């Protein structure tokens, strides 16, 4: 029996949300629906598009497409990883597709990478339909924990400094359903307490300067109440509505500036490892248009 989904009509997937994307929408042409279900936590849809490869959608919002996922995965990972002098222990909250883990493991200094994902169906479907991302889930340095990220951080915060993390990457979905708590002050306080003294965190901001800069400023203000250093950067990615996503970057140590890469790869090595990230784009991604910089700062 051919699968159907309420967000797919006349061969097109429609991403529409007046809450997150007022007055605009995103469409992708569908070749075939691969999977559709209501998991324990959220609506999950996977389809093959005609031009962007396989697409993972959670609660009606595009999470990744095979064609452009590297832009987001590389920036949310390598900005904090290269800003830190020697990240050995990395925690990824969300990101059950494995894309961030794939990028984390490109750093030889990493000794252990822990993924905390609440929805096992995301992991299982990514293994099946997104193999170029999910293969990192099986790496010997990776520990996969099926748990609520909030609870995991509470437990980590109570541990000895030696068991805390150098880098925490919050690769959540948008702030509704199971991810809503990831955009509150209490969550960033937990992040702070789960980091060691030189720790850094980067979080998907859900917004960008073109969608709702007021919400982005609210998130930046929340982070600034908790962390010594808080800066906003962005990456361009066509299948995120309006073609851009903001990332909130925070450092526990006031001397570690997230906008400055402290480690470098050669240009040849960058070409081997990355498709989007490079040393120059690291700093450039923090340069915002004048009106946006004035608003956020």
Q: Are residues 111 and 25 in the same domain?
A: no
Please report the pLDDT score of residue 222 as a whole number.
94
For residue 126, give the CATH number of its domain: 3.40.50.150
Out of 97, 119, 166, 171, the active site residue is 171
Residues 130 and 247 in one domain: yes
What pLDDT does residue 175 have? 46
Q: Which of 50, 62, 56 is nearest to 14 (CA)?
A: 62
Whether 33 and 165 map to the same domain: the answer is: no
In this structure, are 19 and 107 located in the same domain? no
Tell me the pTM: 0.94
Given 65, 80, 104, the domain boundary residue is: 65
- Judge whether 275 lies within some domain: yes
- The CA distance from 273 to 267, in Å, is 10
Cβ neighbours of residue 32 closer than 8 Å, sequence gap 6 or more: 47, 48
Using pLDDT thresholds of 50, 70 and 90, give the confidence band for residue 22: confident
Query: What is the domain range of residue 285?
Result: 69-296
Q: Do 44 and 188 share a domain, yes or no?
A: no
Same domain, yes or no, for 53 and 121? no
- 196 and 150 co-located in one domain: yes
Based on the fold, state whether residues 157 and 209 are members of the same structural domain: yes
| Structural domain includes residue 3 | no
Radius of gyration of the chain measured on its C-alpha atoms: 18
For residue 1, tell me if it sits in a domain: no
Do 21 and 117 sit in the same domain of this protein? no
pLDDT confidence of residue 161: 87
Is residue 171 among the annotated active site residues? yes
Contacts of 50-54 spanning 24+ positions with Cβ under 8 A:
52/28, 52/239, 54/129, 54/130
The confidence band for 207, taking pLDDT boundaries of 50, 70 and 90, is: confident
Q: Are residues 91 and 58 in the same domain?
A: no
Average pLDDT, the chain: 93
What the block records as the tokens of 28 is 């992708």
Say yes or no: 157 and 232 in one domain.
yes
Domain count, the chain: 2
| Integer Cα distance of 92 and 137 in angstroms | 12
Helical pair 185-194 and 149-157, crossing angle rounded to 10 deg: 50
CATH code for the domain in which residue 50 is found: 2.30.140.10
Specify if 100 maps to a domain: yes
89, HSE (Cβ side, Cα atoms, 13 Å): 13
Last residue within a domain, chosen from 65, 86, 111: 65
Which of these three, 28, 50, 65, is where a domain ends?
65
Q: Are residues 154 and 32 in the same domain?
A: no
Residue 2 is assigned to a structural domain of this protein: no
pLDDT at 48 over 60: yes
């Amino acid at each position: 029996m051919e699968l159907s989904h309420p967000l797919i009509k006349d061969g097109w997937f429609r991403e529409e949300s007046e809450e997150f994307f007022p007055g605009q929408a995103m469409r992708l042409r569908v070749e075939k629906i691969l999977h559709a279900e209501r998991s324990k936590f959220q609506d999950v849809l996977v389809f093959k598009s005609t031009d962007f490869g396989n697409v993972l959608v959670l609660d009606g919002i595009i999470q990744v497409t095979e064609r452009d996922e590297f832009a987001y995965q590389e920036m949310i990972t390598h900005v904090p990883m290269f800003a830190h002098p020697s990240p050995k222990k990395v925690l990824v909250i969300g990101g059950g597709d494995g894309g961030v883990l794939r990028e984390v493991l490109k750093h030889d200094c990493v000794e252990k990478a822990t993924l905390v994902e609440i929805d096992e169906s995301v992991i299982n479907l990514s293994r099946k339909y997104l193999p170029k991302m999910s293969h990192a889930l099986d790496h010997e340095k990776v520990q996969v924990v099926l748990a609520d990220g909030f609870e995991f951080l509470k437990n980590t915060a109570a541990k000895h400094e030696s068991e805390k993390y150098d880098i925490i990457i919050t690769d959540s979905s948008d702030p509704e359903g199971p991810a809503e708590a990831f955009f509150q002050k209490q969550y960033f306080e937990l992040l702070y307490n789960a980091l060691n003294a030189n720790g850094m965190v980067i979080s998907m901001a859900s917004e960008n300067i073109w969608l709702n800069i007021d919400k982005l400023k609210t998130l930046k203000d929340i982070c600034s109440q908790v962390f010594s250093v808080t800066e906003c950067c962005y990456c361009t990615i066509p299948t995120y509505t309006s073609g851009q996503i903001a990332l909130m970057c925070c450092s526990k140590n006031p001397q570690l500036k997230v906008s400055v890469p402290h480690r470098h790869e050669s240009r040849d090595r960058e070409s081997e490892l990355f498709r989007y990230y490079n040393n120059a784009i690291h700093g450039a991604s923090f340069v915002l248009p004048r009106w946006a910089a004035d608003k956020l700062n």
